[in-house]
Chain A
Amino acid sequence: MASALTAEWSRLDLGEIAAALRNGDVSATALMETTLERATTLGTALNAFVSLYGERALAAAKTADRERAHGALRGPLHGVPLAHKDMFFRTGTPCSAGLSEPFAPPAETATALHRLDSAGAIQFGTLHLAELAYGPTGHNYHLGHCRNPWRTDHISGGSSSGPAAAVAARLSFAALGSDTAGSIRLPAAACGVTGLKVTQDRIDRAGAIPGSFSMDTVGIIARSAADCALLLDILADAGEPAVHSGTNGDLSALRIGAPILDTHDVSPAIAAAIDESLGILGALGYKIIPVAMPDLASYDAAGFHVMAAEISAAYRTRLIRAPETFSEQMQARLARGLAIPATTYIDALRYRGVALREFRARVFESVDVLALPCLTLPTPTIAETDVGGSPRIDSMIAALVTYLRPISYLGLPSLSIPVGFHASGLPISIQLVGRPFDEAGILKAGRALQTETDWHRRLPPVS
């Protein structure tokens, strides 16, 4: 297939390409041809895709062009090609969920996909993920490991590995992912893109493969906070207040929490990037207020027990009857969940409400948005984190999700945005954490930061 367009079209952000398609500056068919070609070449180099819907997506693009010619636009994303983490059901289409044997083609399409379809988007493929969306590195022993487009020997992060790698490499304008304990924010941070973990249930989960029903969230990986806001308005339930238009206004009323961190726990480059970001926000008029951290370690331990017990209960039957469909690592992790006593699980759940009240009192009494690290250390290599089914799994994972899993346990919204680079060339990101259902607040702060910086516009070597 000959490429119909230059790569410049693929580098536009979601809002820009949607406007170009609406205005007829580019045809949906030409854009889809280019998108599929890039997914085949660059996507293969990164192992970012699980499947491509070539003919089906091209046919849909041609239909979109005909409709536009007749003045009929389906919605704000008319003709925009998107690919999503391979864990959302679409009628009649197998879903791998990152396993060796896919789920049978489902009868229903996931709510999130249905809403994007209704807005006019065209799904052109599915993206890499950890088995059952349960793993923070981007390793997958069935599909092969996903690669980081900034340095391909380093992890992409997971479990939304494909969405982060594909959006960073400009292979998809945005992507749906999921976040149970950091699975959007961590890969977004590792790949230098913007990731939105919403308040739990802000986006309907129907038709997304279940993991931990107390902590799972459907979310967004995109190239900017503005694009996340645009998609959230499409994905949220009807009747909810619009977010996108409200994230571009006056900043001075917002107070940002500057975390008082144990400097031994966070690499100097990451701590410096947080300070620099807060300095930029302060110069824009935000009030920056130091905040002492509550005991995140106890939230993290409780979050581990809730998540591990629930996902193991969900997949226990498959683990017993068909263990070979899971990797050795996944078998070991599911076994951990089965070994959690019911009393520990119930304690961890009952602690959740108290912990949230404590966090709100300690943090959100004095600030509106809290800045925290995503990763505490430079992004590791694929080899360094390839622990298989060994007992090192827990410590390796815990080191990656130190500041992520506690926020998931609390159910809070959080936005991961790139704020710099390590000397190695790998991105540095922070997360902006908000009150329950205040996605608008964190998106507003993120959008302000991205108007003053261009970290999110930098292109990785594979793009």
Chain B
Amino acid sequence: MNDAEALARALLRWNGLGARADAAAPALAAGMTAQRAAVQKAYDDLPAAAEPAWFAAELKRGR
């Protein structure tokens, strides 16, 4: 089981799908990896100004 499958299974189990999670996880992971990567890339490519205001405030407080 790869990382994506393990994550899908864990999330489905956490959501209460029980044994059905094991059967569904491989197909979900295969289908979703590319789309997750697209979102991640879109977000990673954002300029720093896109960070939410609370993030800058936390940085200013030195946390």
Contacts and interface: CB of A to CB of B under 8 A. Distances in A.
A348 B41 CA distance: 11
A422 B48 CA distance: 47
Interface in B22-50: 24-25, 27-32, 35-36, 38-43, 46, 50
Interface in A279-331: 295, 297-298, 301-302, 304-305, 316, 319-320, 323
B28 to A, nearest CB: 5
Interface stretch (A33-41, A227-235, A337-345): A337-345
Contacts of A350: 43, 50, 52
Contacts, number: 82
Contact of B35 (A301, A351, A353, A355): A301
A170 B13 CA distance: 48
A101 interface: no
A347 B43 contact: yes
A301 B38 contact: yes
A394 interface: yes
A336 B28 contact: yes
B56 interface: no
Interface string B1-25: 0000001100110011100100011
Interface residues of B, number: 27
Contact of B11 (A305, A340, A353): A340
Interface residues of A, number: 29
Given A350-B50, A351-B46, A391-B31, A298 B41 contact: yes
Interface string A210-230: 000000000000000000000
A335 B24 contact: yes
Given A298-B41, A351-B42, A339 B25 contact: yes
Contact of B39 (A301, A323, A332, A393): A301
21 contacts: A295-B42, A301-B35, A301-B39, A301-B42, A304-B35, A316-B16, A320-B17, A323-B20, A335-B17, A335-B24, A338-B11, A339-B7, A339-B8, A339-B24, A339-B28, A348-B43, A350-B43, A354-B50, A391-B30, A394-B31, A394-B35
Given A335-B12, A344-B40, A354-B50, 12 more contacts: A298-B39, A301-B42, A332-B24, A335-B17, A338-B11, A339-B8, A339-B25, A339-B32, A341-B7, A351-B46, A391-B31, A394-B31
Q: Which 4 A-B pairs have the closest CB atoms?
A: A301-B38, A298-B42, A347-B43, A339-B8
